[in-house]
Amino acid sequence: MDLEAVCKRSLVHAKPQGLILQYGTAGFRTDAQHLDHIMFRMGLLAVLRSKQTGSTIGVMVTASHNPEEDNGVKLVDPLGEMLAPSWEEHATCLASAEEQDLPRVLAAIVEKEAVDLLQTAFVVLGRDTRVTAFRPSSEKLSQSVIDGVTVLGGQFHDYGLLTTPQLHYMVYCRNSGGRYGLATVEGYCQKLSKAFIELTKQVSCSGDGTRSVKVDCANGIGALKLKEMAPYFSQGLSVQIFNDGTGGRLNHLCGADFVKSQQKPPRGMEMEPGERCCSFDGDADRIVYYYCDAAGHFHLIDGDKIATLISSFLKELLLEIGESLNIGVVQTAYANGSSTRYLEEVVKVPVYCTKTGVKHLHHKAQEFDIGVYFEANGHGTALFSEAVEVKIKRLAQELEGEKGKAARTLANIIDLFNQAAGDAISDMLVIEAILALKGLTVQQWDALYVDLPNRQLKVKVVDRRVISTTDAERQAVTPPGLQEAISDLMKKYKLARAFVRPSGTEDIVRIYAEANSQESADSLACEVSLAVF
């Protein structure tokens, strides 16, 4: 490791003195002006992680649903997963080191993680479409990552524009020795589209014709990648793209985060009653569906209802095949109480709750033969153990009749999921396939259960770290007395549930409350927010 060269090069990407940023729930994310040194250093860190694991590591430049002037970066581990927690700490240390401390911090990571410096390193990069007039864009920031990679002698492949889940997919493919798929955009499009067309072929046989869906792409990378992919699956589904980036600003009044938090349609979407519409977020790793009814009322179908549709379908298929596999659904505290009850009592699947943040859900979902995880905000996927995948694919060839048909459906569903990360394009195709196969309208899907009225609030406090939680963020541990206060408030309302947690992405505290009426949910949230001060 040529530390002298690193230090010299680092001066080109000098860290503003005193600036401390943390590797948060989804990497570093802040105003793009403050990120150049972070990018360079994440290039360095990716090389060390690659040398340590002997695998390809990914670096994604994106700030997802944040405003356009922000940017961010996250590292992707060998199996396409989020970076391991101990390395998140290294990322924070490296990002916070003043120039003169850089050699010491790098050497400490090498020693602590027993990095073999003689190993070769390979890093792949992807980036979203952020281009801003006065701030460094994703393209420029990617160059800084590359600078960090090369100064440590790492090799790289820059995929350029990719959705976040596409980059996760590429990393997984490259490290699975081709088992998972071809590590190219073409390979991704082909794998998913082939599975989707196989699935929907059965539907056209029953005379349903081509389906269509309206997609709000948040003026982001999703628009580009969906346009690129649409021709591959056009015989099964036609997509009408809105907010494709040609007229509006990224994530501005549109996208999955806006639709979910505002509970209203995105700007620019033309909705006819009963039409299926969906929104991606800025880097296309989240999706929510919605429609408006004949009276013009807006209905949101969030990650919880997506998880319900998917897990009931998988359960039905297993029943038809006659296989009893261990299936589990993973949610966070934000999951609507009605969804949890429906999953447990009607679908009859065990439901688990983890802390917010994809890595926690993903990790838990890996414990099952089939693990379905979704955050209410629309990030999620399904994971199938390798043994299950092999078995189902064998059964798909061996079994005949209805059992064989169900096994082949499941085999294609497995291929249609992006098992490396929640993926708006892949999830959309899974949902469209399931709705088509089951002959469900969007209203019928929505009617599976009725969400409990709920309210989310955020409050600014002097130091959000005074609030700590346990039981997957459902109980406050500190400050003393807070949990007792919340529990007392909940007793005043029917079907009430409330919790507070410090945000992992913003300097605020979030409050969630649900109850049997909107008025109750609203006042419970309000009362809890007062208890936080």
DSSP strand E in 211-261: where? Answer: 211-216, 237-242
Count Cβ atoms below 10 Å from residue 496 Cβ, excluding itself.
18
Stretch that binds ligand 16G, among 128-136, 207-215, 464-472, 499-507 (CB under 6 A): 499-507
Distance CA 45, CA 532 (A): 38
Phi-psi group of 175: left, alpha or beta (phi > 0 → left; psi -120 to 50 → alpha; rest → beta) = alpha
Beta carbon nearer to ligand 16G, 64 or 381: 64
DSSP strand E in 94-247: where? Answer: 122-127, 155-161, 211-216, 237-242
* Rounded to 5°, angle at Cα 69 from 66 and 72: 60
- Judged by beta carbon distances under 5 to 8 A according to partner kind, the member of ligand 16G, Zn ion, none in contact with residue 506 is ligand 16G
Distance CA 137, CA 133 (A): 8
- Judged by beta carbon distances under 5 to 8 A according to partner kind, the member of ligand 16G, Zn ion, none in contact with residue 358 is ligand 16G
- Judged by beta carbon distances under 5 to 8 A according to partner kind, the member of ligand 16G, Zn ion, none in contact with residue 504 is ligand 16G
> Of 10, 50, 55, 64, which is the active-site residue?
64
CB of 506 vs ligand 16G, minimal distance in Å:
5
Beta carbon nearer to Zn ion, 69 or 316: 69
Give exposure, 248-263, as e/b (b: 16+ Cβ within 10 Å).
bebbebbbbbbbbeee
Phi-psi group of 353: left, alpha or beta (phi > 0 → left; psi -120 to 50 → alpha; rest → beta) = beta
CB of 25 vs ligand 16G, minimal distance in Å:
4
Distance CA 165, CA 84 (A): 17
Which residue reads 């949101």 in tokens?
Answer: 300
- Judged by beta carbon distances under 5 to 8 A according to partner kind, the member of Zn ion, ligand 16G, none in contact with residue 283 is Zn ion
| Interface residues toward Zn ion, by CB under 5 A | 64, 281, 283, 285
Report the interhelical angle of 303-321 vs 401-416 (nearest 10°): 150
Site string for ligand 16G, 59-78 (x = CB under 6 A): -----x--------------
CB of 463 vs ligand 16G, minimal distance in Å:
16
Beta carbon nearer to ligand 16G, 308 or 381: 381
Site string for ligand 16G, 510-529 (x = CB under 6 A): x-------------------
Site string for ligand 16G, 309-348 (x = CB under 6 A): ----------------------------------------
Three-state DSSP state, 21: coil
Which residue among 166, 336, 356, 483 contacts ligand 16G (CB under 6 A)? 356
Beta carbon nearer to ligand 16G, 83 or 237: 83
Beta carbon nearer to ligand 16G, 26 or 395: 26
Which residue among 198, 375, 423, 427 contacts ligand 16G (CB under 6 A)? 375
Closest CA to 296 of 264, 325, 320: 264
437-466 residues in contact with ligand 16G (CB under 6 A) are none
Beta carbon nearer to Zn ion, 156 or 280: 280
DSSP strand E in 219-262: where? Answer: 237-242
* Encoded tokens for 90: 């290294």
CB of 195 vs Zn ion, minimal distance in Å:
23
Give exposure, 273-304, as e/b (b: 16+ Cβ within 10 Å).
eebbbbbbbbbbbbbbbbbbeeeeeeebbbbb
Q: Does 505 bind ligand 16G (CB under 6 A)?
A: yes
- Decide if 64 is catalytic: yes
Give the phi and the psi of residue 427 in degrees, each rounded to 5.
-60, -40
CB of 465 vs ligand 16G, minimal distance in Å:
13
Q: Does 354 bind ligand 16G (CB under 6 A)?
A: no
Q: Does 362 bind ligand 16G (CB under 6 A)?
A: no
Stretch that binds ligand 16G, among 184-192, 447-455, 492-500, 504-512 (CB under 6 A): 504-512
Residues that contact ligand 16G, how many (by CB under 6 A): 14
Which residue among 47, 183, 287, 358 contacts ligand 16G (CB under 6 A)? 358
Residue nearest to Zn ion (CB): 64
Stretch that binds ligand 16G, among 105-113, 151-159, 352-360, 432-440 (CB under 6 A): 352-360
Beta carbon nearer to ligand 16G, 260 or 408: 260
Which residue reads 């969007």 in tokens?
Answer: 442
Distance CA 73, CA 198 (A): 36
DSSP strand E in 136-253: where? Answer: 155-161, 211-216, 237-242
Distance CA 240, CA 227 (A): 10
Q: What is the largest CA-CA distance in the chain?
A: 70
Distance CA 231, CA 194 (A): 12
Please answer whether residues 409 and 318 qualify as being in contact, where contact means their C-beta atoms are separated by less than 8 angstroms.
no
Beta carbon nearer to ligand 16G, 240 or 470: 470
Which residue among 193, 219, 377, 520 contacts ligand 16G (CB under 6 A)? 377
CB of 349 vs Zn ion, minimal distance in Å:
26
Q: Which amino acid is at 31?
A: D
Stretch that binds ligand 16G, among 169-177, 239-247, 484-492, 505-513 (CB under 6 A): 505-513
Which residue among 132, 366, 503, 516 contacts ligand 16G (CB under 6 A)? 503
Beta carbon nearer to ligand 16G, 40 or 512: 512
Residues in the site for ligand 16G, rule: CB under 6 A?
A: 25-26, 64, 356-358, 375, 377, 379, 503-506, 510
Q: Which residues are marked as active site?
A: 64
